[in-house]
Amino acid sequence: MKILIAPLNWGLGHATRCVPLIDRYRQEGHEVILGGDGDSLLFLKRRYPTLRLLPLAPLDVRYNKGSHQLTAWLRLLPRFIRFIREDRKRLQVLQQQYHFDLIISDNRFGLYTPECKSVYITHQLQIRLPRLWRWAEPLATRIHARFYRRFDEVWVPDYLDPEHSLSGYLGHPVRPMDTVRYIGPLSRFAQPADSHEVLPDSNKAFDVVALLSGPEPQRSQLEEEVIRRYAGREERVLIVRGRMQGPPTRTTHRTITLVPRLEDKELATALCSCQHIIARSGYSTLMDLAALGLLTKASLELIPTPGQSEQEYLAAHYRSTMLSEA
């Protein structure tokens, strides 16, 4: 089969969780073609330099500086509609050229066509809104459903059993559609933590690892907050900035080391050997931490992106789950 896999460019999580799908289809002998834009496409290009990459509609997401994002969402809405339409137009041209047998879209609403099977990946079958807008959640959920009903199947990267769910309420509606399939969590860390290659001590000697991701300016604000917190302290801190642009140059200021990104084995080793982890509570991050056996780490600190209700819910869901298991 000829398969197009295309993640949304909204942080790197949509791209990283496509990794096990890409690897699986390649191992089965299928031709995999990658699509996307921005840092997500650059991540895939670095990881799979021999695969064909197709640029799709660009989407530049920026939040407000504060904790309230309503105006940011209102600004984004017309751009997002144009983005969906542009993706549809590009796919129509690409389908005529490449004749895909399967399209796997991670949260790109426009990537469906009657000419082949199309799959939509999401962990949000139910939408979480800010507290003052909680009354509108059923409407937002129905609008989301109108988009993904156009796909042949919807894949939820979570467990079917709500008791073992990572997404909680978000991924488990009372009456899911017949086309919904629960495929289990997706993580780039396919191997268990103890099977990762042992790296030199210099890569394992950090007390704190801060794993940054998500849109600006919140990504930079959290980076600055971590630097302020540990400046002048004795803990050795590694800040993984979540940036794909430029060379992977390390910068060290006394006990704080900053890197734009790390290869999977390096990152897994750093996370598994440190004493304290700081990360956003994005769903892909939770799946990665779960794959490494780190969701039960007592010193895990999850900080939701301000104003992103989904991450606020996931952080609270994680805390309640850990308390119930304690």
- Coil/strand/helix, residue 121: strand
Domain assignment of residue 197, given as a range: 193-325
Could you tell me if 127 and 250 lie in one domain?
no
Q: What does each C-alpha distance from 127 to 15, 51, 109, 140, 145 come to in angstroms?
A: 21, 34, 15, 6, 10
Number of domains observed in the structure of the chain: 2
- Rama region for 46: left / alpha / beta (φ>0; ψ in -120 to 50; rest): alpha
Domain boundary among 182, 203, 230: 182
Instruction: Express each pLDDT in 3-44 by its tens digit.
Output: 999 999 988 899 999 999 999 999 999 999 999 999 999 999
pLDDT of residue 62: 62
Better-scored residue on pLDDT, 140 or 307:
140
Angle CA(8)–CA(129)–CA(109) in degrees, nearest 5? 25
Instruction: Express each pLDDT in 276-297 by its tens digit.
Output: 999 999 999 999 999 999 988 7
Contact 166, 283 (CB under 8 A): yes
Instruction: Express each pLDDT in 135-169 by its tens digit.
Output: 888 998 999 999 999 999 999 999 999 888 999 99
- Rounded to whole angstroms, the Cα distance separating 142 from 77 reads 17
- What CATH number corresponds to the domain at position 107? 3.40.50.2000
- Distance from chain centroid for Cα 235: 28
Instruction: Express each pLDDT in 47-68 by its tens digit.
Output: 999 999 999 998 876 665 655 5
Could you tell me if 110 and 210 lie in one domain?
no
pTM (two decimals): 0.89
Q: Which helix (H) or strand (E) holds 259?
A: strand 256-259
> Which pair of structure tokens corresponds to residue 274?
């440190």
Single out the residue of 316, 311, 319 nearest to residue 129, CA to CA: 311
Q: Is residue 275 part of a domain?
A: yes
Q: Is residue 187 part of a domain?
A: no
Domain boundary among 115, 149, 182: 182
Most confident of 129-138, 178-187, 211-220, 241-250: 178-187
